[in-house]
């Protein structure tokens, strides 16, 4: 039987699509979710192991790690997708905002990667860690400054863990720009958003799924960022 893949934040959007794709291939999946959604029940019905974890406190992180370690003694891959796209102006307490962003996007992956080091290296396969970062890690963001800074921190962790865990574990990032719209986005916004990339498309979650499979199947990529931006960096 295949070793399981852990995906944090897999109840919606990119994480959900990744989990569904792995289950389609009969690969066991362990997911964490912050807020219950019908998709969680659907994944569980398909055989996924689900863990409720909001990662809001040190105790919550400890509890989630203990559950993850208890579920299986070995993992094929860890995909860090848990995220929160916080807007700076909506938070009066900027210290709390930055601490929250760093906790979700940097501290949680850091803690989980260290905790699962043995679980990723105690088998004969070359394992994978994939950090879901963001296009703004290199450009910054006026409205999402704390978010962008924390994703840049996660990008740097990719480099550090690639060094620490080689050659048993490949560690890479996937840095998407806009891959899919939100419910309620206006036609005007959608049209404007499409023009931000050279290819002028919003390809959907499957673009991230294909990137995940590419990195996991590769035998010679580590410490790299796979940019999914449609050439947006050249506009």
Q: Which residues are known to be catalytic?
A: 147
User: CA-CA distance, 187 to 20, in Å (whole number)?
Assistant: 28
User: CA-CA distance, 74 to 116, in Å (whole number)?
Assistant: 8
Residues near 49 by beta carbon (within 8 Å), at least 6 away in sequence: 4, 28, 29, 30, 31, 71
User: CA-CA distance, 109 to 81, in Å (whole number)?
Assistant: 9
SS3 73: coil
User: CA-CA distance, 101 to 87, in Å (whole number)?
Assistant: 11
Written as six digits, the tokens of 217 are 């199947």
* CA quadruple 79, 84, 85, 90: dihedral, nearest 10: -170
């Amino acid at each position: 039987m295949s070793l399981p893949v852990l995906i944090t934040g897999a109840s919606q959007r990119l994480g959900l699509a990744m989990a569904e794709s792995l289950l389609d291939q009969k690969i066991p999946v362990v997911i964490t979710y912050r807020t219950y959604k019908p998709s969680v029940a659907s994944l569980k019905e398909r055989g996924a192991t689900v863990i409720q974890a909001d990662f809001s406190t040190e105790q919550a992180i400890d509890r989630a790690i203990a559950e993850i370690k208890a579920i299986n003694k070995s993992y094929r891959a860890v995909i860090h997708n848990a995220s929160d796209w916080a807007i700076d102006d909506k938070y009066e307490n900027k210290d709390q905002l930055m601490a929250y962003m760093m906790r979700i996007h940097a501290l949680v992956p850091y803690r989980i990667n260290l905790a699962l080091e043995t679980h990723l290296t105690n088998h004969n396969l070359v394992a994978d860690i994939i950090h879901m970062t963001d296009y703004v890690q290199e450009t910054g963001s006026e409205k999402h400054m704390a978010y962008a800074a924390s994703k840049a921190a996660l990008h740097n962790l990719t480099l550090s863990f690639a060094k620490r865990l080689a050659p048993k574990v490949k560690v890479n990032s996937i840095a998407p720009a806009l891959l899919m719209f939100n419910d309620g986005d206006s036609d005007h916004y959608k049209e404007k958003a499409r023009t931000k990339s050279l290819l002028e498309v919003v390809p959907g979650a499957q673009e991230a799924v294909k990137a995940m499979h590419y990195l996991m199947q590769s035998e010679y990529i580590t410490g790299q960022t796979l940019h999914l931006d449609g050439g947006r960096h050249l506009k």
